[in-house]
Amino acid sequence: MGGWNAADIPDQTGRTHVVTGATSGLGAATARALAGAGATVIMACRNEIKAQAVAKTIDGTVQVRALDLADLASIRRFADSVEGADVLVNNAGVMAVPKSHTADGFELQIGTNFLGHFALTALLLDRIADRVVNVSSVTHHIGRIDLDDLNWERRAYSRFGAYAQSKLALLQFTTELQRRLLAAGSRKLAVAAHPGYAATDINSKTENLLESLINLGNRLIAQSSAAGALHSVYAATAAVEPGGYYGPSEWFGWSGPPGRVGTSGAARDEKTMRLLWKLAEELTGIDFPVS
């Protein structure tokens, strides 16, 4: 692949990265790339046994710690265990699964993909030295934030609609976090990335008839997990613009080397993102340390 690649990752010796969902797919590939560049990587994973097995395959310094983003109590315990880090990569997620709920009663996709990472970032921000990276998706373009029914209690449930909403929420969160950091005079960065079309486990756990089609696409046209993770690694280590969004620069955003990419108009809706921020604080019960 031309352009920026794994050989261009800046030396990460002496730096610590927290990567959520590092058990498989993009998260494991992200952890592997960062550890290979010299970083200490904290693998924040729900399944510790599986994570330990993955950690043994990674050359470099890695630590496995328990984190269930669908449980605010687990998020608090994990945050209490982290003394400090340079970068937080909010990578973990669930995609287009049947309707279910987190331990705190949130719809699973908005609860895991957005509210869990919102809470984690809020609890860790004062100990993050450099930047926060939120991993979104090209599906944010079809997302819609329903502030009156964020948890799909009144709407007819749509698996992909819920997924797209959660990934759009992550982009709005990124923009609003960067605005607040700048207003507070902080030099910390909030950036986002997306992997394009990458073959990962998340694409094959939709539990519906579309799964067979996704699996076929994974075999025929998808990038590898390592190629997809490169965009998160770029956002975590390269010289990036505050609030920037990075992903594949070729094939309509499906593949190619990392580059600055565009967002939907909804991702730039300032009124909605500020109301979403307030709602997220109310739902999680966590006040963010930047106002």
The catalytic residue among 157, 163, 234, 246 is 163
Distance CA 9, CA 149 (A): 41
Q: Is 67 helix (H, G, I), strand (E, B) or coil?
A: coil
Distance CA 17, CA 82 (A): 11
What is the Cα Rg of the chain in Å?
17
The helix or strand, by DSSP H or E, that contains position 85, with its residue range, turns out to be strand 85-90
Within 8 A by CB and 6+ apart from 249, the residues are 3, 256, 257, 258, 259, 261
Q: Which DSSP state fits 32? A: H
Distance CA 105, CA 23 (A): 25
Structure-token match 């605010």, residue found = 72
Pair of tokens at residue 137? 């998706």
Structure-token match 């050359």, residue found = 59
Known active-site residue 197:
no
The helix or strand, by DSSP H or E, that contains position 63, with its residue range, turns out to be strand 61-66
Structure-token match 């009124």, residue found = 271
Neighbouring C-beta atoms of residue 103, cutoff 10 Å: 12
Distance CA 93, CA 195 (A): 13
| Cα atoms in the Cβ-side hemisphere of radius 13 Å centred on 278 | 7
Catalytic residues, which ones? 163
